[in-house]
């Protein structure tokens, strides 16, 4: 069995996620692994009172935009890797959904982290931190190079 046969790469389409995707692609080439890019749509999990949902046309528009961005991220990954990259759009609370999906047979999660500290971390939370604590497999968190030097 290969060390990292299946690599999960959550993305929020930020520069942090793009950087983590580049690292995951390097690992995938080194270990001849498959990559699955996943985006968690949390628009239904937040913002509406319990029992209410966004109108169908709003949900459809959000889903289409998410799929467009994920297709663009996949295309960039394919150019870099010249091999297959799967994509998935999931719904729910990001950290929980990522960990649950990772339990379906992934060997490694590679994800970006903003590296927030203090009040910003307290107020905004950290999906990466929650995934590190709850994931069923190893998690590699990647910061932007200039942020890592400043820390």
| Rounded CA separation 89/87 (Å) | 7
The alpha carbon torsion through 143, 148, 150, 151 (nearest 10 deg) reads 90
| Rounded CA separation 6/145 (Å) | 25
pLDDT in tens, the chain (151 residues): 568 999 999 998 888 998 999 899 889 888 889 999 999 987 655 555 444 556 677 777 777 888 888 888 777 766 555 556 888 989 899 999 999 999 999 999 999 987 655 554 444 458 898 999 999 999 999 988 775 555 5
Q: Which residues contact 27 (CB under 8 A, 6 or more apart)?
A: 4, 7, 33, 108, 110, 140
Task: Quickly count: other Cβ atoms within 10 Å of residue 95's Cβ.
Answer: 22
pLDDT of residue 116: 59
The pTM assigned to this predicted structure is 0.77
Q: Which fold, 6-150?
A: Rossmann fold (3.40.50)
CA distances from 32 to 24, 81, 108 (A): 11, 11, 13
């Amino acid at each position: 069995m290969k060390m990292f046969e299946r690599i999960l790469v959550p993305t929020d389409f930020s520069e942090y996620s793009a950087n983590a995707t580049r690292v995951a692609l390097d690992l995938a080439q080194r270990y001849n692994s498959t990559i699955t890019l996943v985006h968690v749509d949390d628009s239904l999990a937040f913002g509406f009172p319990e029992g209410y949902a966004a109108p169908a046309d709003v949900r459809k528009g959000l889903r289409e935009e998410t799929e467009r961005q994920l297709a663009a991220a996949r295309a960039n990954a394919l150019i870099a890797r010249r091999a297959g990259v799967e994509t998935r759009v999931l719904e729910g609370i990001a950290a929980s959904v990522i960990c649950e999906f990772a339990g379906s047979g992934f060997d490694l999660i590679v994800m970006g982290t903003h590296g927030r500290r203090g009040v910003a971390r307290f107020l905004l939370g950290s999906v990466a931190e929650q995934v590190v604590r709850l994931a069923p497999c190893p998690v590699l968190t990647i910061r932007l190079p200039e942020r890592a030097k400043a820390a």
